[in-house]
Amino acid sequence: MKYVERSKSDDTRGAKAPYVALNVEKTATQSDIRKAYRTLTLLLHPDKNEPEFRDLAEAAFREVVAAYEILSNPDKRAAFDDFGGNAEDDGGFETFWEYENSGKKDNRNFYTGHRLITQLTVQLWDRRLVGDSVWLVEFYAPWCSHCQNLVSMYKAVAAELEDTNIQVGAVNCELNSQICGDWFDVPSYPTIMMLNDKWGTQQIYHKHQEKAVQPLVEWAKSVAAEWQYLFAQSNMLVLEAHNFTTGILSTNKVTVVSFVDGFDCSSCKTAKTNMLRLSASLGHLATIAVVNCAKNEESCELCYETQNLPRPPHSAMTKIWPRYSNETNRTLPLIGGELLYNSNEIEPHIALQITERAIRMTLMSQEHDEQGLSASKGGFQKEKEDDEEDEDDFPPPPRPKPMWNGPARPAPIAWDGGGGNGRRERITRI
């Protein structure tokens, strides 16, 4: 038993090498750490082992507990990552204990020491938001009274989400202005978002939504479930100048492309998330792609010279190309495509919902007609049976309800309900 044998030589390894003691990677999520701890404590509990191994199991058990004491607390874990194994390069702190205690007097951070809420910083961001991990993050300012009032509720939300795969974090915008300003354009405090860094997805919990524990928990679970579906089912392309033409022409499908002013801004992340939804919904019916216009000079030329987009900064511009089904059409220049909607006239996420339904209903009907023609020639039935067999072997997961997101719509204006002649008068509410 490796944990028992290891404890013979050094039963303080849990504090010195907590990732090794819990057998997790440094990129592990807090959920992964909790699962590893539960598994190992059950395995190593002295009462679960034979008498001759009980003393060794108890030592190994203490090692795991010591490791969990550090890694289960996001602040202690961050301190260990920075200074725990590298005392001589710690910028002035002699020990991990000294560094750990140096931050405890910082009352500007609302969630210092909380075991379920990770205080995210620029330095921690890439270490924690890894892979497909989905994060619920509050952006706050210490001087904001609404933020102060939200603290107890947000802690209750973290407790409700402890046994899920949703990671909970918070960003102090006074100390991390780069995250709140440059990365996410946080409009007001507090702002609550769901995030995934790998896919660049973002969903904002809008002000008109109820600020209470259960509504926020259910919303977070719904977003996480939908995103896991999107990550698995979406086939969105990321096109660049060198593969833009072939990316559109080689598919023989209707193509929808969103041109975004970088992948880092808040509205860009929202646009990319909605394009993932479009891709997951339409599947093989259409090609869905995004272009990062800010990536390099070639991308800038593609967007602003070839495609004639407005100069940055600009909102996401979405164009549509028809199906190129023969060699004659394939030789047409791809200067244009057609602008799908004007984002100054309609909210992009509303336009994309309409687009998704229109394409899906039109092309599904067309596909059905084409399959019917194929069947009349005798070739369709066997192809259909083969497809059904494949689907039975690997049934797709059920599709969650799409959670199209964008700017919150303003509250409707109340009218007196009158009709007929004359102008209606707005109701004045006292």
Question: Within the chain, what is the greatest distance between any pair of CA atoms?
Answer: 95
Burial of 303: CB neighbours in 10 Å, binned 0-12, 13-18, 19+ = buried
- Name which CATH class applies to 106-231: alpha beta
Which string of b and e fits 340-365 if b means at least 16 CB within 10 Å?
Answer: bbebeeeebbebbbebbeebbeebee
Whether 106-231 and 234-370 share one fold: the answer is yes
Tell me if 145 sits within 8 A of 110, measured CB to CB: no
Q: What was the pLDDT predicted at 104?
A: 44
Phi, psi (5° rounding) for residue 205? -85, 105
Tokens of 11: 């039963």
Q: State the DSSP string of 258-312.
A: EEES-SSSHHHHHHHHHHHHHHHHHGGGEEEEEEETTS-HHHHHIIIIIS-PPPS
Q: Which residues contact 114 (CB under 8 A, 6 or more apart)?
A: 73, 74, 75, 155, 158
Q: What was the pLDDT predicted at 267?
A: 81
Q: State the DSSP string of 137-190.
A: EEEE-TT-HHHHHHHHHHHHHHHHTTTSSEEEEEEETTT-HIIIIIIT---SSS
Q: Three-state SS for 195?
A: strand
Q: What was the pLDDT predicted at 12?
A: 53
- Name which CATH class applies to 2-72: mainly alpha
- CA distances in angstroms from 291 to 92, 245, 258, 262, listed in the order given: 45, 12, 6, 8
Q: Does the predicted model carry a pTM greater than 0.85?
A: no
The full set of domain ranges for the chain reads 2-72, 106-231, 234-370
Would you tell me how many other CB atoms lie within 10 Å of the CB of residue 8?
10
Would you tell me how many other CB atoms lie within 10 Å of the CB of residue 411?
7
Q: What was the pLDDT predicted at 311?
A: 87
CATH of domain 234-370: 3.40.30.10
Q: Which residues contact 402 (CB under 8 A, 6 or more apart)?
A: 226, 277, 281, 353, 356
Q: What was the pLDDT predicted at 21?
A: 82
Positions of the chain with pLDDT under 70: 1-15, 46-55, 82-107, 325-336, 365-397, 407-430
Q: Three-state SS for 83?
A: helix
Q: Which residues pair with 172 in a beta bridge?
A: 140
Q: Three-state SS for 339?
A: strand
